[in-house]
Structure 1
Amino acid sequence: MKSKTFLENLMKPNTLACSHESSQCDCVTGDR
């Protein structure tokens, strides 16, 4: 599940910045 979000955030520039903080960043899952 996290792998899918990781790939998705890579495509999204908005989450790209949060990619390094995806662990505690809710923008990755919240964006969806």
Structure 2
Amino acid sequence: MARLDVVPEWRPNLPVLRPEPEPAHRADVPRL
């Protein structure tokens, strides 16, 4: 769920219910 905290940066318009597995995973790896 920590990824949802960092994803809003590149996808603030998208809802949290539709997390993208491709971009979400990429933004979660470098951030952590």
Please tell me the TM-score bracket, short chain as reference. Answer: 0.3 to 0.5
Taking structure 2 as the reference length, what is the TM-score of the superposition? 0.38
Taking structure 1 as the reference length, what is the TM-score of the superposition? 0.38
Name the structure with the higher helix share: 1
Q: Which has the higher contact order (CA 8 A, sep 6+)?
A: 2
Task: Give the greater-gyration-radius structure (CA).
Answer: 2
